[in-house]
Amino acid sequence: MPFIASPMLKKLLRQPVALALFGATAAFCTYACAYAFRKSITATTFEGMAFAGINYKI
């Protein structure tokens, strides 16, 4: 099913500055969401953990 944008959004995104701001906002929100998940993984210590002879702390 294709994405159906409202007429107001279509008109707004035809302007280059608005398109750039929309893209920058979408990229920032995506990074912020990914950082929220990544932060908890990198805060964990993997010291002493190994599986099949491979140490997790690389």
Per-residue pLDDT reduced to its tens digit, 14-45: 888 988 998 899 999 998 888 877 766 666 66
Q: What is the pLDDT of residue 30?
A: 92
Distance (Å, whole) CA 18 – CA 9: 10
Q: What is the pLDDT of residue 29?
A: 92
Distance (Å, whole) CA 6 – CA 12: 10
54 compared with 24, residue with greater pLDDT: 24
**CB–CB of 57/46 below 8 Å?**
yes
Q: Report the DSSP beta bridge partners of residue 54.
A: 51
* Per-residue pLDDT band at 56 (split at 50, 70, 90): low
